[in-house]
Structure 1
Amino acid sequence: MKKKLLLIVIFLSSMSVLKAQKLDLIPRPVKVEQTSGAFVIPSLVHISIDKKAQKSAGYIADSFFKNTGINPKISIGKRNQKNTIRLVVDQKMNVPNDGYTLSVAKTGVVVKGKSHNGVLNGFQTLLQMSSAKDVKKGTIPFVKIEDYPRFEWRGMMLDVSRQFFDKETVKNYISWLAAHKMNIFHWHLTDDNGWRIEIKSMPDLTSKGAWRGPGEVLLPSYGSGDKRYGGFYTQEDIKEVVAFAAERGVSIMPEIEIPGHSRAVTASYPEIGCVTTQETKSVQGEVKNVWCVGREENFEILDGIIKEYSELFPFDYIHIAGDEVNRANWEHCPKCKAVMAKEGYTDTFQLQNYFFRRIEKIVEKYDKKSAGWNEILKGGELSPKTEIFAWQGVSYGIESVKKGHPTIMIPGQYTYFDMAQSEEERGHRWAAITDTKRVYSFEPVPENDLSVEEQKLIKGVQGALWSEYLDVPTRFMEYQSYPRIAALSEIAWSKKEHKNWDDFYGRLTNSHLQRLADLGIAFRDFPPTAIYKNGKITVRLPYEGAVVRYDTEGNEPTRQSPLYTNSIETKEYEKYRFRTYFNENAASPAVKVEKLPVANWNTSKVETIKISEDITDHIDKKAIWYLSFNPVTDEATSGVIKEISLFENDKLIKTYLPERTLKSKPSLRFVIENYNDNNKYRLDFTVENKEVKESAAKVDFIASPYQEPEVKVTSSMAENPKFPFTRLEDYNLETYLRTDVPCENGDWILYTFTTPVISSKIEVLTGIPHHPRFIVSDGHVEYSYNGVDFIKGDPFDYGNAFIYPKQAVKAVKIVITGTNNEPIMAGQDLRINP
């Protein structure tokens, strides 16, 4: 009996050791066998590096010291020493090129890779093991790991044109990618708003095209303001960064954005563009930003540029772009029309194909292969070697594969990290609201649409960070990148069948967020959830041990704000904001207090559901309320909602009869004017699911924080019929005014209320909602109590101004005192606080 008890104690003890040594590896390896015990790293540890990996010796030594605090002795090629860490290249290993094995035993550590990069991937795993939360500092748990990537291409793109990031920042970014076993850095070096690479045959590309601001060839944009802004990388800088990346197992694919997105080129060398009397605009509102296809000299110029690219970057591919080309320029250009006539083309997509086929030949001339965005598939066939980047959606990746091209999946709906991570955060929204969980949900291989052989043409997956809105706040580039890139790395590396969000999230929050902090990344932490019910705010922490602070006045919490510890009793829940703080650099967005949904449903069959809910406990004030129907997932959007009615004491307040699809995420406005504590409220609506598809949603009913008084908007500027002044009268915060031209000194916009409005604060915002584009940069706000006499208020700061009136306001005026130096100007609805 005693022997049995002893065995049980030993077994439980070994189990606790295993449990205590969670490795929390990201990306998740293919196979891990862990046993009890750990290798204790000697204070004079020796790392032996295979000669085939010796170019990374400095990086290995430095990284080991940063992660363990132990300064290793490095030797090249030595073997058979005890208590050492051996990094070995074995080209005969039966694993893919980037694969490795890792063995940790009492006598030492062996990392064996099929290639130099395989060794580095194993070394990254070793570093992660030594830094796991549950692993004792200075030790490495006993394990045997066999690991290799799912995809050969594991990439990330950084746009350095719209915002310029200096050489050291780019090198840091590459190091962070390497730490996640990402092997491709896609360097977006040129675009409309700045040319960032020195080309010796065309010096004006950087002496002129790398700068924007007053007196420059490029206008201010994307927050650069009324100062000279920009920069570029010399060829020596490029060589340094390429070598730096290679030491870390990362290849750099450079991009030259042609034939569109080329305003920096045509502003520096105007003759490169088309000569037309028609001034057409690109999707981004840029003019004269396209290379002239009919100008034969342009192909000689591009030959010279591509030659210099090929000499600077050893990687196989050069990305020649091809997205969002303003082909209307070609339609009005005599030279381009002449080429079309000569070749017998009937549309400009064929002309675009002509351009890219010629570029392919130039690229191949310098022993490189072409890559491009999925639009280059239009207009005709391309070389089967050309790699396609499917950014507009998975269906474009399928099209590319069906045409026989190697394909990289980079759909904006999942892997564009310029997308906002929540409704309240800064960032684009055109593709999706893309948080870390949504990134992790992406599956790059549409197995139902491709044969097994066709699936092999999907070479990998990539993310992209476009930099339009990375100018503020400080280090926002890092916030937008991580931990979303950590999720992307697991999509790219780990087996599909091993993907599990809860498991990933546990590894991420238990150890990996601290690793990101140790790397010096100002990442986005996960926000808490604050729920108001029965007079109390209760906060759910995003993970165990998270530090959450709060503010009681509607402001963003700071690191000095009170620490949340217990439920908070209050009737003013709307004023509270909560935020997770990880360290001095990393935090979550601030979040408002939520109320629980007033209704929900979940069905996957054809049926009609009539829902009637008593929502009396949910309504607590006289206000404008918005009812929103929010699908629980992207796939659960089947069905329509109709006959939506709100009752007060069984008396109808308002009804909406027309059908609204769940996919459109309808939001409906109700005004509750006669609220009192004794009123009873009921919500009725009908859901009709017409197909055998999933329909599931939560229904939220939220009081607007703003007033919506009747207002009339007029302006000195000509009205754009597509974005009329009435958009500033509807109090829809997602719609906006958009002019056809820049604003000028003397322009104005006037908001006149039918009845004077009492308000503690009026927010006057310009630019596109959520984005600092097309803002008023020179001007101020004025306000009037009688509609005749105006008081000068604050100047616009980054497109925004605020009014704190002392009595009822009859009118608000935007007064513009200078051009905004952008193609157009945009304005938004007033936000009128009670």
Structure 2
Amino acid sequence: MKKYIYLFALFLSSLTILQAQKLDIIPKPVKVKQKEGVFIIPSTVNIIVDEKIKRSSDYIKNGFSKNTNTNPIVSIGTKAQKNSIFFLVDEKLSLPNEGYKLSVTKKGVIVKGKTANGVLNGYKTLLQICVAKEVKKGTIPFVKIEDYPRFEWRGMMLDCSRQFFDKPTVKNYIDWLAAHKMNIFHWHLTDDNGWRIEIKSMPDLTAKGAWRGPSEVLLPSYGSGNQRYGGFYTQDDIKEVVAYAQERGISIMPEIEISGHSRAVTASYPEVGCAITQELKSVQGEVKNVWCVGREENYEILDNIIKEVSGLFPFEYIHIAGDEVNRANWEHCPKCQALMAKEGFTDSFQLQNYFFKRVQKIVDKYHKKTDGWNEILKGGEINPNTLISAWQGIGYGIESAKKGYKTIMMPGQYTYYDMAQSETERGHRWAAITDTKRAYSFEPIPDADLTPEEQKNIIGVQGALWSEYLDRPARIMEYQSYPRICALSEIGWSQKKDKNWDDFYGRLTNSHLKRLADMGIAFRDFPPTAIYQNGIITVTTPYEGAIVRYDAQGNEPTRNSPLYTNPIKTKNYEHYFFRTFFDENSASPSVKVEKLPVAKWSTSKAETIIISENISEHIDKKGIWYLTFTAEKDETANGMIKSVSLFENDQLIQSYPEEKTLKSKPRLRFLIENYNEKNTYRLDFSVENKEAKETAAKANFNCSPYLEPEVKVTSSMAENPKFPISNLEDYNIETYLRTDVACKDGDWILYTFTNPVVSSKIEVLTGIPHHPRFIANDGFVEYSYNGIDFEKGEIFDYGNASIYPKQPVKAVRIQIKGTNNEPLIAAEDLRINP
């Protein structure tokens, strides 16, 4: 009998586990143990806040009230009250400093932390539990949690120079970071394009250097347009934001960009820069943006700046940058050259090291420590207490850790959230295309390359959001940040063994996207997948319950577009776009319909794979078709594509005999003129894997939605030989023209067709593909039916314009009406609709 009672009890226990409500906590805690039952929150619940965290009492009260729809009564102290919620500091807890224990029973809730920040971390977990999808409002499931962070440094940087974000926006950003248990806000306050912090000893830094515009010392840039743009934070603003962050368990590290990225300084105080006549461009195309190392007065100026900054920020570190310095200025500067001779330096990296060490002594003087980008490791020794922010790649973090420096891992390839999230989205591409899944895949400690002792030098992980392309559309800063910062929070907090993408994605989409929406974040939702096969488009939603809408005319779907409910029968799949919508603020990018790959392969052997595929079912019309080869992931982009041929009814249409590396993402053009549904089509090619490395990829074959008539392009502006005018004649969306000079009123780019073209719409695009840089700001597009007489079309709107011809078009011309305040202008292939 006892045996059966035991088995029945065991059954009930397992049933309880199976029925446990999903808490969907992000970042994932170390230990979670749920029990059957819930604590019912009284409508006027008592909250007891330890004296040691009383400065956060309003934060705790307001957040709990908002997330539970209750009216809590807050008391400061530790006196026990029935059915209360306690937030207590217990320095004797055997947990790391930011760890906590959370217990929910029928008697109430107790959150204990070894430190004030530990208690706040427990509070943030409690709030997430209260609003989890499966938790009934007004209740908290019985649970015991023991939790602590993997890394002591969990940071996020926001660039407020290129785009200025006002004080309420910065506070919101801090709130969102706090909700994810991030503990460092890296505030990028100065750069070439704006000085954002009031320095009373140098008032022109904000009177002049905080503003861009036609009559300002800084020219318009990054979408600021031909009006005065900018702003800055007063010292009172800074103090307010610092206190706000402290209440939420976040420390703020200021960054003052030196010795490069300093155009806002040299434009306000020209004497700070090198006295040279040459206009030597930095990586970003800026001139005169470097502090003069040989000017002794500059160190007095820096002393004053750092003194004021140190007094505003209680955090132990100040970031003084040191990245991307245009050292060519020093090589032409008499004062810098004299200093080099005096010190016996042989290269300008030594000057950079000299400057950094001089500044570092000033930082030390005001009882702070120095953080700098990984370039400061060049040119000589630096203070062993220096913190290194390794941004250029994982290898730079390894180098720093091996040299014994405390290191923050923030490689651009994974943690720079200004990177585009897909091939068609706005954002940088120099490091990688980085969606949430790729961001989550980052492992900060490369244990195979570091000894256990060296691994201890990696003290944390950090993300960065540079703001060059955050000027539009509205709220793109939030779109670029989340949910990638959700992934970052788990990388920084959760144990390595607990990291699992599928588990994280489940928690994110089940409950956490709704939490983001409730916080007011206009996040990037996950796009659907639309597959075309046998005349039918079938859409897979990114998660259960996702709302997907579509457009059938080649436009981006809106919230008023038709709702996708069933497969769509069509032959014009190229014109369909699909998009996920979460609420009024959040949506995914729109996506095109994909066709199933015409071929796939995977091998880790050194071998040649011969592929011959009947692809007749993939071809359903005449037109221009593109064959693209894409690796499954970066690590599998190995091997050579060779001898590509397309056959129609066993007759060769076209072949590409030359070798192409898979890493180059080959894109091959084919013209199918004699399509007939009875025709058969065969694709032949080979993949040569010369080394025993994994190669895994797919080949897709898609019809272009655009016409590609023969065209000749000329311009009044000189071309950059690396980006020639002929790039505008190949209809490759990834190649483009860059001029070698700035544009001016009267400049032009002329597209002349060999034969007049019949088109319903011709789109004219300037700038780098997917980048709003080097665009035509002032000007219009015009078109001609005879190649001589031109009619005016649209004016350029943020670099783009269109024409809608009523007759066959012989020529299209871009007419420039003024400068774009950039060192050059770029242009793309025409997109000619049938």
TM-score by length of 2: 0.98
Distance in 2 (CA, whole Å) between partners of 1:14 and 1:104 is 20
Distance in 2 (CA, whole Å) between partners of 1:5 and 1:618 is 63
Change (3 A) 1:204 1:603: same
Counterpart for residue 537 of structure 2: 537
Counterpart for residue 425 of structure 1: 425
Counterpart for residue 31 of structure 1: 31
Amino acid at match of 1:641: I
1:20 CA displacement: 4.8
Distance in 1 (CA, whole Å) between partners of 2:517 and 2:227 is 33
Counterpart for residue 513 of structure 1: 513
SS at match of 1:300: helix
Counterpart for residue 80 of structure 1: 80
1:659 CA displacement: 2.1
Instruction: Write the deviation string for residues 554-587 of structure 1: whole angstroms up to 9, x where unpaired.
Output: 1111112111111111122111111111111111
Counterpart for residue 224 of structure 1: 224
Distance in 1 (CA, whole Å) between partners of 2:830 and 2:792 is 17
Residue 205 of structure 1 contacts residue 268 of structure 1 at CA under 8 Å; is this kept in 2? yes
Establish whether residue 291 from structure 1 lines up as the match of residue 291 from structure 2. yes
- Alignment of structure 1 residues 2-17 onto 2, 5 Å: 11=11, 15=15
1:344 CA displacement: 1.1
Distance in 1 (CA, whole Å) between partners of 2:593 and 2:16 is 39
Counterpart for residue 751 of structure 1: 751
Residue 20 of structure 2 contacts residue 36 of structure 2 at CA under 8 Å; is this kept in 1? no
Counterpart for residue 97 of structure 1: 97
Amino acid at match of 2:487: A
Segment drifting more, 557-566 vs 452-461: 557-566
1:80 CA displacement: 2.1
1:7 CA displacement: 7.2
Segment drifting more, 155-164 vs 274-283: 274-283
1:630 CA displacement: 0.8
- Alignment of structure 1 residues 645-660 onto 2, 5 Å: 645-660=645-660
Establish whether residue 322 from structure 1 lines up as the match of residue 322 from structure 2. yes
SS at match of 2:170: helix
Counterpart for residue 446 of structure 1: 446
Establish whether residue 618 from structure 1 lines up as the match of residue 621 from structure 2. no
Counterpart for residue 358 of structure 1: 358
Distance in 1 (CA, whole Å) between partners of 2:459 and 2:35 is 35
Counterpart for residue 238 of structure 1: 238
Counterpart for residue 693 of structure 1: 693
Instruction: Write the deviation string for residues 485-522 of structure 1: whole angstroms up to 9, x where unpaired.
Output: 00000000000010000000000000000000110100
1:386 CA displacement: 0.8
Instruction: Write the deviation string for residues 628-655 of structure 1: whole angstroms up to 9, x where unpaired.
Output: 1111112112222211111111111222
Residue 610 of structure 1 contacts residue 687 of structure 1 at CA under 8 Å; is this kept in 2? yes
Counterpart for residue 118 of structure 2: 118
Segment drifting more, 553-562 vs 355-364: 553-562
Distance in 2 (CA, whole Å) between partners of 1:523 and 1:294 is 47
SS at match of 2:154: strand
SS at match of 1:215: coil
Distance in 2 (CA, whole Å) between partners of 1:533 and 1:12 is 48
Establish whether residue 190 from structure 1 lines up as the match of residue 200 from structure 2. no
- Alignment of structure 1 residues 359-438 onto 2, 5 Å: 359-438=359-438
Identity between Structure 1 and Structure 2 (%): 76
1:17 CA displacement: 6.8
- Alignment of structure 1 residues 360-759 onto 2, 5 Å: 360-759=360-759
1:19 CA displacement: 3.1
Distance in 1 (CA, whole Å) between partners of 2:797 and 2:9 is 67
RMSD: 1.5
1:800 CA displacement: 0.7
Segment drifting more, 240-249 vs 286-295: 286-295
Segment drifting more, 297-306 vs 17-26: 17-26
Residue 157 of structure 2 contacts residue 186 of structure 2 at CA under 8 Å; is this kept in 1? yes
Residue 387 of structure 2 contacts residue 408 of structure 2 at CA under 8 Å; is this kept in 1? yes
Residue 575 of structure 2 contacts residue 705 of structure 2 at CA under 8 Å; is this kept in 1? no
Amino acid at match of 1:782: E
Residue 717 of structure 2 contacts residue 740 of structure 2 at CA under 8 Å; is this kept in 1? no
Distance in 2 (CA, whole Å) between partners of 1:784 and 1:826 is 22
Distance in 2 (CA, whole Å) between partners of 1:312 and 1:695 is 53
Change (3 A) 1:452 1:2: closer
Distance in 1 (CA, whole Å) between partners of 2:79 and 2:10 is 36
Distance in 2 (CA, whole Å) between partners of 1:562 and 1:759 is 27
1:316 CA displacement: 0.6
Amino acid at match of 2:95: V
- Alignment of structure 1 residues 37-48 onto 2, 5 Å: 37-48=37-48
Distance in 2 (CA, whole Å) between partners of 1:36 and 1:666 is 57
Change (3 A) 1:92 1:2: closer
Counterpart for residue 270 of structure 1: 270
TM-score by length of 1: 0.98
1:677 CA displacement: 1.4
- Alignment of structure 1 residues 165-180 onto 2, 5 Å: 165-180=165-180
Runs of 4+ deviating beyond 6 Å: none
Amino acid at match of 2:738: R
Counterpart for residue 308 of structure 1: 308
1:740 CA displacement: 2.8
SS at match of 1:532: strand
Amino acid at match of 2:85: I
Residue 632 of structure 2 contacts residue 696 of structure 2 at CA under 8 Å; is this kept in 1? yes
Distance in 2 (CA, whole Å) between partners of 1:651 and 1:385 is 70
Distance in 2 (CA, whole Å) between partners of 1:503 and 1:652 is 49
SS at match of 2:265: helix
Residue 162 of structure 1 contacts residue 193 of structure 1 at CA under 8 Å; is this kept in 2? yes
1:719 CA displacement: 2.5
Distance in 2 (CA, whole Å) between partners of 1:9 and 1:624 is 68
1:18 CA displacement: 4.9
1:397 CA displacement: 0.4
Residue 17 of structure 1 contacts residue 37 of structure 1 at CA under 8 Å; is this kept in 2? no
Segment drifting more, 17-26 vs 595-604: 17-26
Residue 639 of structure 2 contacts residue 688 of structure 2 at CA under 8 Å; is this kept in 1? yes
Residue 20 of structure 1 contacts residue 135 of structure 1 at CA under 8 Å; is this kept in 2? no
Residue 18 of structure 1 contacts residue 36 of structure 1 at CA under 8 Å; is this kept in 2? no
Distance in 1 (CA, whole Å) between partners of 2:635 and 2:821 is 42
Amino acid at match of 1:597: P
1:668 CA displacement: 1.5
SS at match of 2:243: helix
1:301 CA displacement: 0.6
1:16 CA displacement: 5.5
1:457 CA displacement: 0.3
Counterpart for residue 252 of structure 1: 252
Residue 626 of structure 1 contacts residue 668 of structure 1 at CA under 8 Å; is this kept in 2? yes
SS at match of 1:404: coil
1:241 CA displacement: 0.2
**Which ranges in structure 2 are unaligned for 5 or more consecutive residues?**
none
Distance in 2 (CA, whole Å) between partners of 1:206 and 1:797 is 31
SS at match of 2:185: strand
SS at match of 1:635: helix
SS at match of 2:638: coil
Residue 189 of structure 1 contacts residue 196 of structure 1 at CA under 8 Å; is this kept in 2? yes
SS at match of 1:641: strand
Residue 20 of structure 2 contacts residue 35 of structure 2 at CA under 8 Å; is this kept in 1? no
Residue 574 of structure 2 contacts residue 703 of structure 2 at CA under 8 Å; is this kept in 1? no
Amino acid at match of 1:121: N
Distance in 1 (CA, whole Å) between partners of 2:16 and 2:592 is 40
Amino acid at match of 1:91: E
**Which ranges in structure 1 are unaligned for 5 or more consecutive residues?**
none
Distance in 2 (CA, whole Å) between partners of 1:519 and 1:772 is 29
Instruction: Write the deviation string for residues 679-718 of structure 1: whole angstroms up to 9, x where unpaired.
Output: 1111111112222221101111121222222211111112
Distance in 1 (CA, whole Å) between partners of 2:191 and 2:300 is 20
Distance in 2 (CA, whole Å) between partners of 1:373 and 1:616 is 54
